[in-house]
């Protein structure tokens, strides 16, 4: 098989959270437009300590119109899908009781998560590249953390990982929030068995240093019975503040069941700056830059048994809140790879929970790449199916792209938000299909048999969410829909695109 079976081998390396070194999420947040504060209903205060038992349920029903995925006219025509998540948790924190010694313990478990019904067919490799797999149960957190002043913090156990905007490490728990205009409903997330030692914050710059070791339990890079471990290190300046910057590094060893190894290093820089203009207009800027380098024995070719890995991505977000209305601009660059026969793997795949829009990446590119993994094993092309074909599908990842996603949001009444905007996307390099490119003598050819242009398309998304706190619980209802007009990167040999693609979903979330 060609180089086209490659994937980003370190796209979701679990990382230390920037705002909170061990990845603990805040348990309470202010509901925009509502003076009340959400916190778990089952919260108790024995003395000055805190005990809580958060519970939540999320449900989603979605569908997309049928569209063509390859040169033979194979359609992706899934049934309407229903996805659910039932989560339980527990938390214990001594807070100031034993100061300057602090202890925190947390448990979080998805008793049920995944797709209950609907989705793709066997034409796409018996996987649904956009919607996820069958229902499952996942242990997300079971860890403890001991802090002695600024001197040392020791942490160990099962944890989730998130860093920055979530390009590489994403805990699957950063979805829509008021004022975000975000089209996302994450599931899963990066999970590790982690031990760390941290020190700080030190000096007026609030510097925190962290070192640790992970046994990876699950992320979008690990498939099947893969095993992965990694050493991590992080430095954060102005830790825990709204204006902060940090650097994370991970050195990962991953081994497939057949003994093929991947040895890569990931460097990820992230910064955030928030403030006000003339005391009224709130603004937030975020920037993340990630690079992955190393070697891999996955997806070997007859000429190259080992490949060099060099992949890069940049994500930026700029938001303004004028009070009751606002704007958000997302930008992302992710490197691509159109040469399947050289000794390099350059295709960056962002974590699937880093979402841009509803249709282009999550459905169209996910399904065409899933179909490519099937057609690449065509006996007319090769006598024996190539290795690692199951690693080629994008599975909803933002990859090989330069994209802009400006959006606006409006809050006509407390708790109700309407949001939307156009996603304009281009390729970084030609979007090439392994089988079609081979039939054209190696010339980059897209899955539809056409010579790919640089324009992926424009997608118009619109959503509405209503969020309310009642009786100490939080209910969020949502509707989102979109239409994608594909560009010349997805045109066939006659310069015809697959036509407009439409889809939408209904969402419900309840926390208590």
Residue 381: predicted pLDDT: 60
Find all residues with CB under 8 Å of 278, minimum gap 6, and list them: none
The 3-state DSSP class for residue 368 equals helix
DSSP 305: S
Measured CA to CA, the distance from residue 14 to residue 296 in angstroms comes to: 19
Q: Are 171 and 160 in contact (CB under 8 A)?
A: yes
DSSP 24: P
Residue 447: predicted pLDDT: 87
Classify domain 3-511 at the CATH superfamily level: Porin (2.40.160.10)
What is the distance in angstroms between the CA of the first residue and the CA of the last residue of the chain? 51
What is the residue extent of each domain of the chain?
3-511
Find all residues with CB under 8 Å of 167, minimum gap 6, and list them: 268, 288, 290, 313, 315, 350, 351, 354
Residue 438: predicted pLDDT: 73
Calculate the CA 260 to chain-centre distance. 26
The 3-state DSSP class for residue 47 equals coil
Measured CA to CA, the distance from residue 87 to residue 450 in angstroms comes to: 46
Measured CA to CA, the distance from residue 133 to residue 83 in angstroms comes to: 10
Residue 424: predicted pLDDT: 98
Residue 383: predicted pLDDT: 53
Measured CA to CA, the distance from residue 487 to residue 67 in angstroms comes to: 14
Cβ-based neighbour number of residue 16 at 10 Å = 32
435: enclosing H helix or E strand: helix 434-439
Residue 133: predicted pLDDT: 63
Q: What is the pLDDT along the chain (512 residues), one digit of tens a residue?
A: 333 333 333 333 333 333 333 332 332 233 333 445 678 889 999 988 999 999 999 999 999 999 998 888 888 888 888 999 999 999 999 999 999 999 999 999 999 998 888 776 555 654 555 555 667 899 999 999 999 999 999 999 999 999 999 999 999 999 999 999 999 999 989 999 999 999 999 999 999 999 999 999 998 888 878 899 999 999 999 998 999 999 999 999 999 888 889 999 999 999 999 999 988 899 999 999 999 999 988 765 656 668 899 999 999 999 999 999 999 999 999 998 877 667 788 899 999 999 999 999 999 999 898 888 777 766 666 555 556 666 778 888 999 999 999 999 999 999 999 999 999 999 999 888 877 777 776 778 888 888 888 999 999 999 999 999 887 799 999 999 999 999 999 998 888 888 899 999 999 999 99
**Residue in 391, 385, 401 with CA at minimum distance from that of residue 313:** 401
The DSSP bridge pattern shows strands 281-296 and 37-38 to be unpaired
Find all residues with CB under 8 Å of 357, minimum gap 6, and list them: 183, 405, 423, 459, 461, 482
pTM over 0.75: yes
């Amino acid at each position: 098989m060609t180089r086209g079976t490659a994937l980003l081998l370190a796209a979701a390396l679990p990382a230390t959270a920037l705002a909170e070194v061990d990845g603990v999420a805040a348990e309470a947040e202010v509901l925009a437009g509502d003076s009340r504060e959400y916190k778990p209903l089952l919260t108790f205060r024995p003395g000055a300590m805190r005990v809580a038992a958060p519970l939540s349920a999320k449900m989603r029903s979605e569908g997309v119109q049928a569209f063509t995925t390859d040169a033979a006219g194979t359609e992706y025509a899934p049934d309407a899908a229903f996805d659910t998540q039932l989560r339980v948790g527990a938390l214990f924190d001594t807070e100031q009781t034993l100061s300057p010694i602090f202890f925190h313990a947390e448990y979080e478990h998805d008793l049920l998560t995944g797709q209950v019904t609907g989705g793709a067919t066997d034409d796409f490799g018996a996987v649904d590249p956009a919607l996820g797999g069958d229902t499952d149960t996942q242990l997300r957190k079971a860890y403890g953390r001991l802090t002695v002043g600024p001197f040392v913090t020791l942490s160990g156990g099962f944890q989730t990982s998130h860093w920055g905007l979530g390009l590489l490490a994403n805990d699957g728990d950063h979805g829509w929030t008021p004022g975000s205009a975000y089209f996302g409903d994450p599931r899963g997330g990066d999970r590790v068995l982690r031990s760390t030692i941290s020190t700080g914050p030190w000096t007026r710059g609030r510097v925190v240093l962290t070192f640790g070791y992970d046994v990876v339990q699950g992320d979008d890079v690990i498939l099947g019975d893969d095993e992965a471990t990694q050493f991590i290190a992080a430095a954060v300046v102005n830790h825990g503040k709204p204006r902060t910057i940090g650097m994370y590094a991970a050195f990962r060893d991953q081994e497939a069941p057949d003994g093929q190894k991947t040895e890569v290093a990931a460097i990820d820089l992230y910064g955030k700056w928030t403030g006000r203009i003339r005391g009224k207009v709130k603004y937030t800027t975020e920037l993340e830059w990630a690079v992955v380098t190393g070697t891999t024995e996955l997806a070997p070719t007859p000429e190259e048994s080992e490949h060099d890995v060099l992949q890069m991505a940049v994500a930026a977000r700029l938001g303004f809140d004028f009070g009751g209305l606002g704007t958000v601009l997302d930008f992302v660059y992710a490197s691509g790879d159109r040469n399947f026969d050289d000794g390099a793997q350059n295709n960056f795949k962002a974590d699937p929970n880093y979402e841009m829009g509803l249709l282009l990446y999550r459905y169209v590119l996910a399904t065409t790449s899933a179909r490519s993994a099937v057609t690449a094993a065509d006996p007319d092309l090769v006598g024996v199916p190539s290795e690692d074909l199951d690693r080629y599908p994008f599975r909803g990842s933002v990859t090989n792209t330069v994209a802009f996603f400006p959006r606006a949001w409006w809050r006509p009444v407390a708790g109700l938000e309407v949001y939307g905007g156009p996603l304009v996307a281009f390729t970084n390099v030609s979007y090439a299909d392994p089988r079609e490119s081979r039939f054209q003598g190696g010339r980059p050819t897209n899955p539809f048999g056409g010579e790919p242009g640089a324009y992926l398309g424009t997608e118009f998304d619109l959503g509405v969410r209503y969020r309310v706190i009642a009786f100490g619980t939080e209910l969020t209802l949502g509707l989102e829909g979109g239409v994608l007009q594909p560009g010349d990167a997805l045109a066939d040999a006659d310069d015809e695109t697959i036509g407009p693609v439409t889809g939408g979903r209904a969402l419900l979330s309840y926390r208590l």
